[in-house]
């Protein structure tokens, strides 16, 4: 589904829609009866907010605009966002995804993913004379700046997150000699720092609120004088989607989370639901749904990770309607209207040049 240009903000909309699939248009099975008794109405609860966050929209816009403006190929370091549908779609349009900058021809144009990069990566780009477009999410950049600030002030840094995640690698790279990554309270217990009174913590932006809270509590117990960011590092969209699940999961028999396996925030949504006692599965697309999951299930709640496009959500709705879930209700837990501006490299490229002044 191609994005459509929005001249108001030089952005693109990506399969985003407020229109729900018409339940009447799909086959109905919710009138089945057993022994003459009709079964309970099967229904779908569509959680809102769900899907794309502002950082993901911005990152995808950047790649699309770069392709439109500079032409293919445009190189992208790592997956621009952690969603296979989005990556495959952009690849078909001319984006080339690479793991390392050495795979990019010298002097070519390269885009950094929304998850950010370390100073070492930026230095390598300079050495190869690459034309860089930075699609790092501004909320990730905020954490990078906090890491730099604390390191300059002489703090030992504790970064709460998952070691193999690109965001964590980038943040740790801002101050690698003073930063330790922890993922569990047990790892906090064995932390050793030069000065226990000079410690600061930061967190990956896509952790679950409960997970981050537990880790911060453990850190404060071990280091009573530990410093932290002025505002929490957990992304607003991560928090909002988790809050929506917490508000709706108790009224559902099953929670389906649309998102890719390597999406941290999508996995956290599954965990939030499971921790509340409601069965949940992570799916990339409707075809991933196993029929046995729906056995005895009257109410299915659907949400989507921050990098999952709405078109995939609607395909899941259509699939469930075909299985007799005729009632589709959107449940808005909170409004969400956040947008981030484009980086200067893109703004300059798409801004018409001013005519030369008349003599």
The one catalytic residue among 167, 174, 211, 310: 167
Q: 59 — phi, psi (to 5°)? A: -65, -45
Compute the distance between CA of residue 238 and CA of residue 326 in angstroms, rounded to an integer.
29
User: Is residue 34 a known part of a binding site?
Assistant: no
User: Is residue 82 a known part of a binding site?
Assistant: yes
User: Is residue 235 a known part of a binding site?
Assistant: yes
Compute the distance between CA of residue 269 and CA of residue 217 in angstroms, rounded to an integer.
21
User: Is residue 53 a known part of a binding site?
Assistant: yes
User: Is residue 162 a known part of a binding site?
Assistant: no
Is residue 167 annotated as part of the catalytic site, yes or no? yes
Buried b (16+ CB within 10 A) or exposed e, 21-41: bebeebeeebeeeeeeeeeee
Tokens of 356: 């030369």
* Three-state secondary structure of 208-235: CHHHHHHHHHHHHHHCCCCECCCCCCCC
Omega into 49 within 30° of 0, i.e. cis? yes
User: Is residue 88 a known part of a binding site?
Assistant: no
Which of 193, 238, 189, 178 is closest to 212 using CA atoms?
A: 238
Which of 63, 125, 119, 128 is closest to 96 using CA atoms?
A: 63
- Binding-site residue positions for dimethylallyl diphosphate: 82, 115, 165, 263-265, 307
Q: What positions carry a catalytic annotation?
A: 167
Annotated binding site for isopentenyl diphosphate: 82, 115, 165, 263-265, 307
Q: List binding-site positions for [4Fe-4S] cluster.
A: 53, 137, 235
Q: Which residues contribute to the annotated binding site?
A: 53, 82, 115, 137, 165, 205, 235, 263-265, 307
């Amino acid at each position: 589904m191609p994005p459509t240009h929005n001249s108001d903000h030089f952005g693109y909309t990506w399969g985003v829609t407020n229109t729900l699939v018409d339940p009447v248009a799909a086959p109905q099975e919710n009138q089945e009866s057993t022994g003459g008794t009709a079964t309970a109405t099967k229904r779908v609860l569509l959680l809102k907010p769900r899907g794309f966050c502002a950082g993901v929209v911005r990152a995808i816009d950047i790649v699309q605009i770069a392709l439109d403006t500079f032409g293919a190929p445009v190189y992208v370091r790592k997956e621009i966002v952690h969603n296979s549908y989005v990556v495959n779609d952009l690849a078909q349009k001319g984006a080339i995804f690479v793991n390392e900058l050495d795979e990019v021809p010298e002097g070519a144009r390269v885009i950094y993913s929304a998850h950010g990069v370390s100073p070492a990566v930026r230095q390598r780009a300079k050495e190869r004379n690459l034309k860089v477009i930075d699609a790092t999410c501004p909320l990730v950049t905020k954490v990078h700046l906090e890491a730099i600030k604390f390191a300059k002030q002489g703090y030992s840094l504790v970064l709460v997150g998952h070691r193999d995640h690109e965001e964590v690698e980038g943040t740790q790279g801002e101050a690698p000699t003073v930063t330790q990554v922890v993922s569990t309270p047990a790892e906090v217990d064995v932390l050793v720092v030069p000065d226990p009174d000079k410690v600061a913590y930061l967190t990956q932006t896509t952790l679950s609120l409960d997970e981050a809270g537990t880790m911060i509590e453990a850190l404060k117990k071990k280091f009573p004088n530990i410093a932290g960011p002025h505002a929490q590092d957990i992304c607003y969209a991560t928090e909002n989607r988790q809050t929506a699940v917490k508000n709706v999961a108790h009224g559902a028999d099953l929670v389906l989370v649309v998102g890719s396996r390597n999406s941290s925030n999508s996995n956290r949504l599954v965990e939030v639901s499971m921790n509340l006692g409601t069965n949940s599965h992570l799916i990339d697309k409707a075809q991933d749904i196993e029929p046995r999951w729906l056995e005895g299930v009257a109410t299915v709640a659907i949400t989507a990770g921050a990098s999952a496009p709405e078109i995939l959500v609607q395909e899941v709705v259509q699939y469930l309607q075909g299985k007799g879930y005729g009632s589709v209700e959107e449940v808005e837990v909170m409004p969400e209207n956040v947008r981030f501006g484009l980086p200067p490299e893109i703004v300059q490229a798409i801004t018409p040049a001013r005519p030369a002044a008349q003599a």
